[in-house]
Amino acid sequence: MRDEALPEDEVIRILMEMKERDFSYDRFFSTMCTRPHPIAVRAHDMFLETNLGDPGLFPGVADLEQRVVRMLGELLGCSNAAGYISTGGTESNIQAIRAARNEAGKKDGNIVVPASAHFSFDKIGDLLCLEVRKAELDECLRADLASVRSLVDERTVALVGIAGTTEFGQVDPIEGLAKIALERKIHLHVDAAFGGFVLPFLEGDWRWDFRVPGVSSITIDPHKMGMSTIPAGGLLFREQECLSHLETETHYLTKARQASLTGTRSGAAAAATYAVMMHLGREGFKETVRYCMNLTHHLVSGARKIGVEPLIEPTMNVVALQVPSPARVREELMKRDWHVSMTREPKRALRLILMGHMTHENIDLFLKDLEDVLRR
């Protein structure tokens, strides 16, 4: 650190220089986040100094957080769900499994997740000293129920289903998983970090949320398809009691007990989420999802015209394209300033997320480059 102060203008100049090095969302196909909605940015700025770790000092933003939890609960079929606004999908998944483990009170426990689960579950295994058992996928890349059944035993503390997998945007058979969870009296956690703000606004009757008896907790991230600011994650439990399995005594704060993983935590993202949900309403989110699905169909039909097929017909705005030597193709596309990623073995493919920041024009430019790269 410097000894003398640096004038404000000089500091800002450095910041601007650094910001210019960041890439632009316009060419991002790899991220599940997007530019936040302008009203979310305004709300975030208004509540920048608030700390939800000590909610008695900030009752206004603490109320906003609970209003967001209520709105999310209504969206997911349980208006009195309990929960809080976390830093994102990883924290929500950690906390859901921690609550399940504490409730089960088993030593040397395990969790059963689909092979398509996000890597946050590997962190969870390490942090919570749980064995992570990975169930096979069926031909549509959903959790295979027979494989899940074969992995569950008396030490299983939670089952996990994904509603919107990170690589394929696929939805696991949540009703089938719930049946196993109810039979074996196990906590079923649904990771809808991405799909939580997509599925309720898609055509069709998806059965994956608290409307399915047996679903105990859900992760839903406002900082992905919810267009809130980073870091905004959502964690919801069907039963208030689950939150109490996460609580510790706080000794010196305004509330005697705390259930969140982090202590000091910004209220800004909760306020931003409240603002964007109120402002857009269901109609606004439907419109966004419709736009993202149009982009998705545009990409897939354009890819087919150049002889490239998706691994599965996209369920939501996530596409995995089958190309020869995907690592080389990705590298060439990155050289042309397209930010794309890849799915894991054994289903290596180009992974593309069609977020609200993408345009039909940029998809056309991307497809031209893809065709060119494939011809070489």
Ligand X SMILES: Cc1ncc(COP(=O)(O)O)c(C=O)c1O
Q: Does 353 bind ligand X (CB under 6 A)?
A: no
Rounded distance between C-alpha atoms, residue 167 and residue 118, angstroms: 9
Interface of this chain with ligand X, residues 202 to 241, rule: CB under 6 A: 221, 233
Q: Does 191 bind ligand X (CB under 6 A)?
A: yes
Q: Does 89 bind ligand X (CB under 6 A)?
A: yes
Name the segment binding ligand X (CB under 6 A); options: 38-46, 68-76, 191-199, 336-344.
191-199
Among 43, 111, 160, 162, binds ligand X (CB under 6 A): 162
Give the residue from 254, 178, 225 showing the smallest Cα distance to 75: 225
Provide the minimum distance between the beta carbon of 269 and ligand X in the complex, in angstroms, as a whole number: 11
Name the segment binding ligand X (CB under 6 A); options: 76-84, 189-197, 255-263, 298-306.
189-197
Provide the minimum distance between the beta carbon of 254 and ligand X in the complex, in angstroms, as a whole number: 28
Name the segment binding ligand X (CB under 6 A); options: 86-94, 106-114, 237-245, 267-275.
86-94
3-class secondary structure for 43-103?
A: HHHHCCCCECCCHHHCHHHHHHHHHHHHHHHHHCCCCCCEEEEECCHHHHHHHHHHHHHHH
Among 36, 53, 83, 88, binds ligand X (CB under 6 A): 88
Name the segment binding ligand X (CB under 6 A); options: 50-58, 190-198, 308-316, 335-343.
190-198
Q: Does 187 bind ligand X (CB under 6 A)?
A: no
Q: Which segments of 302-356 are extended strands (E)?
A: 309-310, 318-322, 341-342, 350-353
- Residue window 299-338: x/- pattern of binding to ligand X, with contact defined by CB under 6 A: ----------------------------------------
Q: What residues contact 232, with CB distance under 8 A and at least 6 apart?
A: 85, 87, 88, 221, 222, 223, 226, 269, 270, 272, 273
Query: 24: helix, coil or strand?
Result: coil
Cβ atoms of 81 and 72 within 8 Å: the answer is: yes
Cβ atoms of 333 and 326 within 8 Å: the answer is: no
Provide the minimum distance between the beta carbon of 23 and ligand X in the complex, in angstroms, as a whole number: 18
- 163: which DSSP letter? B
Beta strand 156-162 pairing with 110-114: parallel
Residues in binding contact with ligand X, number by CB under 6 A: 14
- Residue window 28-47: x/- pattern of binding to ligand X, with contact defined by CB under 6 A: ----x---------------
Provide the minimum distance between the beta carbon of 92 and ligand X in the complex, in angstroms, as a whole number: 8
Rounded distance between C-alpha atoms, residue 29 and residue 341, angstroms: 8
Q: Does 120 bind ligand X (CB under 6 A)?
A: yes
Cβ atoms of 318 and 292 within 8 Å: the answer is: no
Rounded distance between C-alpha atoms, residue 76 and residue 200, angstroms: 8
Provide the minimum distance between the beta carbon of 32 and ligand X in the complex, in angstroms, as a whole number: 5
Q: Which is nearer to ligand X, 121 or 274 (CB)?
A: 121
Q: Does 194 bind ligand X (CB under 6 A)?
A: yes
- Any idea how long the chain is? 376
**Residues engaged in binding ligand X (CB under 6 A):** 32, 88-90, 93, 118, 120, 162, 166, 191, 193-194, 221, 233
